[in-house]
Amino acid sequence: MKPLNATRIAPLLACALVAACAGASDKYPSLAIRDLERAQGDFTPVEPEPEPIRPVASAGDIAALVARAREAHLEFEQTERRARTLVAQARGRSIESNARQLALVALADLATLRSQTSVPMSELDQLKAIAATTFAPVDEIDDARTVVSALLDDEDDTLNSLWETLS
């Protein structure tokens, strides 16, 4: 038999010490949930009040868009007078004539002014789309769109008439 040395005794001694620490488990409290810790009774959650649906734009913002469209339309009408004169002078002339070139430039100017009138319309369209997805009121937006749409229709009719005259 081999003699017992410290390297053989140390693991045995460690096992004995650890085993001595393990005693009865009734000395320590259980980690299980106690009856007192359990939720009891009926708990009904409080329903929050729904937030009122707000318009996506104020009446002032919508009125400002209509005013911008009217200003652009007024400028269109002022430029239209000059364009009508130039188109009338160019009617029946050859494509290379200066009168025809001036009329084409005037029509291009009118088309540019028409696009300035359509910018507020696009903003109103965007407001309507946002209102439709948020269930916000759209009556004021629809009224403004009707006004601006009438201005654009008038400008389209004018441009079509001038192009027909020039053709």
Q: Which of 41-45, 66-70, 114-118, 152-156 has the lowest mean pLDDT?
A: 41-45
> Does some domain include residue 65?
yes
Query: What is the reported pLDDT for 2?
Result: 64
The model's pTM is 0.64
| Token code pair at residue 93 | 């002339």
Q: From the CB of residue 29, how many other CB atoms can be counted at a distance below 10 Å?
A: 7
Question: What is the number of domains present in the chain?
Answer: 1
Q: Residue 124: which domain range?
A: 59-166
Distances (CA, A) of 125 to 1, 65, 141, 143, 155: 100, 11, 8, 12, 19
Query: What is the reported pLDDT for 5?
Result: 72
Instruction: Considering only residues 9 and 100, tell me which one the structure prediction assigns the higher pLDDT.
Output: 100
> Does some domain include residue 159?
yes
| pLDDT band (50, 70, 90) for residue 100 | confident
Across the range 72-88, mean pLDDT stands at 92
> Does some domain include residue 38?
no
> Does some domain include residue 123?
yes
Query: What is the reported pLDDT for 166?
Result: 82
| pLDDT band (50, 70, 90) for residue 1 | low
| pLDDT band (50, 70, 90) for residue 29 | confident
> Does some domain include residue 125?
yes
| pLDDT band (50, 70, 90) for residue 46 | confident
Are the beta carbons of 98 and 161 closer than 8 angstroms? no
Query: What is the reported pLDDT for 14?
Result: 73
Across the range 93-114, mean pLDDT stands at 87
> Does some domain include residue 90?
yes
